[in-house]
Amino acid sequence: MSDLNSYGFGQTGSISTPQIRNRVLRNTYALLALSMVPTVIGAWLGVAFGFNFMASNPFMGFIVFMAIAFGFFWAIEKNKDTGVGVLLLLGFTFFMGIMMSGLVGFTLNSYSNGATLIMLAFGGTASIFAVMATIATVSKSDFSGMGKWLMVGVLLLIVASLANIWLQLPALMLTVMVLAIAIFSAFILVDVQRIISGGETNYIMATLAIYLDVYNVFTNLLALLGIVGGNRD
């Protein structure tokens, strides 16, 4: 693996110096930016072909989605020290783009200002990421203890979301969206600081974690903007 490491794949070695930690962070940001390309392509193709994975049976769709997602997680983890890990990560982001296409298509087709809402959600997500990454970089506080509580919050969000498939409570849906934005914004803070402190030595896994944070902030923000600011045709 040392030859692969020297070319920047997977682990970059022992995180013992600021220079090495900064290299991992740069690689993570570069791969994160690259991962947006297959995400956009997947979303575009999904909208173009009218793909909606959750339309017929949301509960079964969720189960299948989780199975595919965790399959990708397992494969990426097993190949995180090779270039195959990068390809798998990009494949996963393409899949996530397809999964996003239902929301994007609904926004574009249901609201006359749908394109504006998407741009607002993108700008809002970018702003949240910039703020959280900056705090993680300059703050002397240790945010690692937040991780376990945030994970509990994610589990509660999943339970609430599944319950609302049957309950169909607008107030619960709005609450889940707002809490999801807050929780995954905090996760950006935790995950970026974990790289800076040397807690994450593999930029492929670091990118996966931050990508999921950003993805969830964007999708929940877009859905929320549609509800509070969407103009029906």
The span from the CA of 105 to the CA of 83, in Å, is 33
Residue-wise pLDDT for 77-112, tens only, equals 999 999 999 999 999 999 999 999 999 999 999 999
Please state the pTM of the whole predicted model.
0.90
Structure tokens at 184: 């995954």
Q: What is the pLDDT of residue 5?
A: 37
> Binning pLDDT at 50, 70 and 90, where does residue 165 land?
confident
**% of the chain with per-residue pLDDT over 90:** 69
Question: Helices 58-78 and 146-167: crossing angle, nearest 10°?
Answer: 150
Segment among 23-27, 82-86, 108-112, 226-230 with least mean pLDDT: 226-230
Write the DSSP assignment of 113-162 as a string of letters. THHHHHHHHHHHHHHHHHHHHHHHHH--S--TTHHHHHHHHHHHHHHHHH
The answer, yes or no, to whether residue 16 has pLDDT greater than 70, is: no
What are the pLDDT digits (tens) for 110-148?
A: 999 999 999 999 999 999 999 999 999 998 888 888 989
Question: What is the helix (H) or strand (E) element at residue 68, kind and residue range?
Answer: helix 58-78
Q: What is the pLDDT of residues 172-200, one digit of tens each?
A: 999 999 999 999 999 999 999 999 988 88
| Residue range(s) defining the domain that contains residue 97 | 2-229
CA 214 to mean position of chain CA atoms:
4
* CA–CA gap between residue 98 and residue 6 (Å, rounded): 34
Task: Work out how many domains the chain is built from and give that number.
Answer: 1
Of 135, 153, 114, 155, give the one whose Cα is nearest residue 196.
135
